[in-house]
Amino acid sequence: MTDAGLPTSEHLEHLDTDTIADLIENLLPAPEAHRAREHVKACPDCQQTYDALLQLTEDLADEGRTDIPMPADVAEHLNAVIASESVLRASTVGVHSLVQLREEPHRHLPKLLLAAAAVVVVAGAGVVGVVLATADHSTDGAAGIGSPTSVPSITTEQVGPDAQRWLEGAKGPILHGEAAEIDCARQFATTQPDSELQLVQPATVDGKRSTVIGLPGGSAGDVKVFVVTGCSGSGGPATPFYDTTVTLRNR
Amino acid sequence: MTSDITRIGPPPSPGAGPVPPQGYEAMDDHELLRLHVAGNPDTFGYLVKRHRDRMWAVAIRTLGEPEEAADALQEAFISAFRRADSFRGDAKVTTWLHRIVVNACLDRIRRRQVRAADPLPEDEDRAAELAGPAEDDPAEVRERRLDVLNALKQINVDQRSALVLVDMEGYSIEEAAAILGCAPGTVKSRCARGRAKLLPLLRHWQTTRGGSADDVPAKARQTAPTAAATSSGTGGTE
């Protein structure tokens, strides 16, 4: 601020609003701030502007304290998008933790890309109910929601809960793996009382490359789950080393 | 579980924890986010539901266009969903969300500026509709809200985003500077100049408080910038 351009009460030339706003925010260098402050004290119009700016700050704060309700259609669409993201994440191979996903991106990227395509469709349609089409290597095209399409690493303790989760999320049998592995599972099934395959899932169980095979159990909704070795690579014969029975809640 | 949170996909993994007896709605933001990172498929939806109106307000005030705000918010929440494990637990979840939402808004504005030949749709009726459901608020509240939205649209976007964070959302200058990625002095300057521009646009607020429109002196609104106004000593004046 120069003396020549200095608006003062003596000059009866008002400060512009920017200068007064800067004064309030302590943005003016000290000498200019002093002169501007003196002017405001002496000039009723500039004092009014000064007060109005302070009041505006309070009014904006009042307004800011009230949320603006998100329109229902926007909220509905957002719910669908977030639901799709949950599906995408849950569909990754045996992974339910973002930390795991971040640490092992190479393992999950192909599945993520496939799932992302499904999410785009879902989000575009704005629907809430979602059916995710996962990659399926089986010969007959059966697929299960949430069931892994590659080889998850699990323990024998997890076999029952995981098989139950996979099957409950599927509309029909889950037959994953190479054709030779599925054929091996079919051969194994013929040795059991009911040979209708419910589940074939390649897995590493307790460190061993295995195949999880599900067959109808003794009661409605029951699935007898076997873990066998020998079906991957060589194509048999299957050698079971663990079995359990799960009861599906939605069958 | 409430009606507008849709449960999709397999049940949570064991690490995601059981549903508490009092329900997810009783959990604080940190716990909901922690469960989401652990694999719970539901808790992020509750977090979105809890904060979506606040984030909508930030987006609509910053972008000024409902369609743009909806797109920005979608991008922001997807980003938050995927980056939740990078959240530092010592901050407030709302501050973290604000940062993501504001950045998504600013990204859209930058992209819009790059495509300068691609004008935004102007639809006053749609804007009024999206300022909030009519049945939710009294007419004067909606009118005032629209006044602010329209006035904010008329000022520089940098000033607008600073004002939204500092004056309307209550962040400190330093917090706003961190969110916006600029110096505190720049935020102060943007706020000051933004208020100066908003004042004549919202002067009828003063009228409704018992004064008159002339309470803001015409000379103060019209005078040419003085030397003081063009030589701010703090830097970053915009």
A127: closest CA of chain B, how far (Å): 11
DSSP states of A5-40: T---TTTT-PPPHHHHHHHHTT-S-HHHHHHHHHHH
Structural domain containing residue B101: 20-121
Give the tokens for residue A199: 């589940």
Positions of chain A with pLDDT under 70: 1-12, 91-149, 234-235, 251
**Partner A contacted by B15 (CB < 8 A):** yes
Are residues B220 and A45, on separate chains, in Cβ contact within 8 Å?
A: yes
* Whether B196 and A52 lie within 8 Å, measured CB to CB: no
| Confidence (pLDDT) at A227 | 92
How many A×B Cβ pairs under 8 Å? 253
Angle formed at CA A94 by CA A93 and CA A98, multiple of 5 degrees: 90
Does residue B227 surpass a pLDDT of 60?
Answer: no
**Can you give the pLDDT at residue A124?**
46
Report the C-alpha gap between B150 and B147 in whole angstroms.
5
B1, B6, B8, best to mutate vs chain A, most A CBs in 10 Å: B8
pLDDT of B229 over the 50 cut? no
Residue B137 has pLDDT above 60, yes or no: yes
CA nearest to B83 within chain A: A98
Interface of B with A in 134-163 (CB under 8 A): 136-137, 141, 144-145, 148, 163
- Asked if pLDDT for residue B230 goes beyond 60, the answer is no
Max CA separation in chain A (angstroms): 108
How many residues are present in chain A? 251
CATH code, B59 = 1.10.1740.10
- Give the chain B residue whose CA is nearest to the CA of A68: B57
Residue B50 belongs to a domain = yes
pLDDT at A55: 92
Q: Do B219 and A79 touch (CB under 8 A)?
A: no
What is the DSSP annotation of B55-74?
A: HHHHHHHHH--HHHHHHHHH
Q: Give the pLDDT band (50/70/90) at residue B116.
A: low
Cβ-defined contact of A70 to B221 (cutoff 8 Å): no
pLDDT above 80 (res B34):
yes
Nearest to B217 among A49, A63, A75 (CB): A49
Report if residue B175 sits inside a domain: no
Burial class (CB in 10 A: 0-12, 13-18, 19+), A13: middle
**Residue B79: how many CB atoms within 10 A of its CB?**
15
The arithmetic mean of pLDDT across residues B28-32, rounded, is 92
**Structural domains of chain B, count:** 1
In a domain, B158, yes or no: no
Determine, for residues B191 and A25 on separate chains, whether the beta-carbon distance falls below 8 Å.
yes
Please tell me the least confidently modeled range out of A42-46, A199-203, B29-33, B212-216.
B212-216
Residue of B nearest to A12 (CA): B219
* B109: in domain: yes
Nearest C-alpha in B relative to A146: B10
The Cα of A103 is separated from the nearest Cα of chain B by a number of Å equal to 11
Q: Which of A17, A52, A72 sits opposite B206 (nearest CB)?
A: A52
Residues of A with Cβ-Cβ distance to B155 under 8 angstroms? none
ipTM field:
0.72
**How far apart are alpha carbons A108 and A125 in whole angstroms?**
26
| pLDDT value at residue B220 | 37
pLDDT, position A100: 55
CA dist., res. B105 & res. B65, Å (int):
11
Q: What is the pLDDT of residue B16?
A: 52
- In this structure, what token pair is assigned to residue B117? 């030949």
Q: What is the pLDDT of residues B159-211, one digit of tens each?
A: 999 999 999 999 999 999 988 889 999 999 999 999 999 999 988 776 555 44
Flag if B216 and A85 touch (Cβ within 8 Å): no
- From B62's Cα to the closest Cα of chain A, the distance in A is 12
Residues of chain A neighbouring B42 (CB-CB closer than 8 A): 86
Which residues of B are less than 8 Å from A1 in CB distance?
A: 226-228, 231
Is pLDDT above 50 for B2?
A: no
Q: Do A83 and B227 touch (CB under 8 A)?
A: no
Question: Are residues A90 and B10, on separate chains, in Cβ contact within 8 Å?
Answer: yes
Q: Find the closest chain B residue to A45 by CA distance.
A: B217
**B76 part of a folded domain:** yes
Which band of pLDDT confidence, cut at 50, 70 and 90, is reported for residue B222?
very low
Structure tokens at B1: 């579980």
Q: Is the pLDDT of residue B81 over 80?
A: yes
Mean pLDDT, rounded, for B104-109? 89
In a domain, B178, yes or no: no
pLDDT value at residue A165 = 84
- With respect to residue B105, please indicate whether it lies within any of the assigned structural domains: yes
